[in-house]
Amino acid sequence: MKASCSCQMFEYSGIICRHILAVFRAKNVLTLPSQYVLKRWTRNAKTGVLLDEHASALPSSSHESTTVRYNNLRQEAIKYVEEGAKSIQTYHVAMKALQEASKKVCTVKPTTANGGRSELLTGNEDVSSHQSVAEKQKKIRELTAELETTNQRCNVYRANLLAVLRDMEEQKLKLSVKVQNARLSLKE
């Protein structure tokens, strides 16, 4: 039995929402269908990478759920990491390939003009030339806001660190006074 809900909780997080559970209860479905039990919620979640047998039953179009895409990418990445870590040579090759893949992924530009699909830019094109001035200004504002919050967070961490260091110096001073007092009492 297959169910979907407009809240799309399962598609987003991989957890069935209460709405679907209520429908299953009303339809007297007492056992959760296996396609709703993702591998990450099973006892075998940490064992080797196995292809999800239910992923093939789900849609394979560009509109498939985020959870399915995430799980597929994660499974492939885990396989890749396991192979790449076997020797220093494969590690270097894997790292270089990951850096190249990262560049390619960054060049994918979502466009609403072509039905929500993404268009892959060629290596010769400048990514920034495809952004409007408004998009660039919005990105600048977002990055500036992020920088400001990061600076504020750094200031809080810095203040906390300085307070801890002051406390440590005070404790060190108290201990050295105690040591000196103990030495003086031994001499007497």
- How high is the mean pLDDT in each 10-residue block of the chain (188 residues)? 85 86 90 83 66 46 66 82 88 88 77 44 48 83 88 84 85 90 86
Is the Cβ–Cβ distance between 9 and 38 less than 8 Å? no
Same-domain pairing of 54 and 101 = no
pLDDT of 15: 87
Residue identified by tokens 């559970």 is 21
Output the CA–CA distances (angstroms, integers) from residue 73 to 29, 54, 70, 145, in the order listed: 31, 15, 5, 30
pLDDT of 156: 83
pLDDT of 18: 92
Same-domain pairing of 42 and 98 = no
pLDDT of 47: 64
Same-domain pairing of 64 and 120 = no
The b-or-e profile of 35-68 (16+ CB within 10 A means b, else e) is ebebbeeeeeeeeeeeebebbeebeeeeeebebb
Tokens of 55: 């992923």
pLDDT of 153: 85
Tell me whether residue 76 is in a domain: no
Same-domain pairing of 108 and 59 = no
Prediction pTM value: 0.32
- Counting the structural domains of the chain, the total is 3
Same-domain pairing of 126 and 137 = no
Q: Where are the alpha helices (DSSP H) in 85-132?
A: 88-106
pLDDT of 114: 44
Dihedral angle over CA of 94, 100, 106, 109, nearest 10: -120
Tell me whether residue 60 is in a domain: yes
Which residues form the domain of 91? 85-130
φ, ψ (nearest 5 deg) of residue 92: -65, -40
Same-domain pairing of 140 and 123 = no
Cα angle for residues 140, 103, 62 (degrees, 5° grid): 90
